[in-house]
């Protein structure tokens, strides 16, 4: 089974569908199959686990053609996109076993209960 993201305006993922391997032996064949089936031309192959195009293809993500990656919604304004197309906080999360959440106002990790 292959997964394809339906792209809307600004390459935003607006839907996910799956296609049998026999109907999509290649990405191009899968796109041709879906285009014919749905009379809609904007598809790109993705995956549920991020093994294709750096991140999972999911509704609300954006496909960046230049980076050939699905980019998830930026969680906080202070976070930046790294070379693997994953959002990173400006400060590393402490690895001390304590439950923490991001505080955008102080741009720091705070203990949560």
pLDDT digits (tens, 9 = 90+) for 19-44: 999 999 999 999 999 999 999 999 99
pLDDT of 113 > 80? The answer is no
- What pLDDT shows up at residue 27? 97
pLDDT digits (tens, 9 = 90+) for 44-101: 999 999 999 999 999 999 999 999 999 999 999 999 999 999 999 999 999 988 999 9
pTM, 2 dp: 0.86
- What pLDDT shows up at residue 71? 97
Q: How far apart are CA 11 and CA 9, in angstroms?
A: 5
Q: Which tokens belong to 72?
A: 């998830």
Cβ-based burial of 27 (10 A; exposed 0-12, middle 13-18, buried ≥19):
middle
- What pLDDT shows up at residue 29? 98
């Amino acid at each position: 089974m292959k997964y394809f993201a339906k792209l809307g305006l600004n390459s935003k993922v607006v839907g996910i569908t799956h296609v049998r391997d026999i109907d999509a032996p290649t990405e191009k064949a899968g796109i041709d199959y879906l285009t014919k089936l749905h009379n809609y031309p904007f598809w790109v192959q993705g995956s549920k686990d991020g093994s294709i195009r750096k991140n999972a293809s999911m509704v609300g993500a954006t496909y960046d053609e230049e980076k050939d990656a699905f980019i998830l919604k930026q969680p906080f304004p202070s976070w930046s996109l790294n070379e693997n197309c994953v959002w990173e906080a400006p400060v590393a999360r402490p690895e001390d076993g304590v439950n923490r959440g991001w505080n955008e106002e102080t741009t720091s990790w705070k203990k949560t209960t």
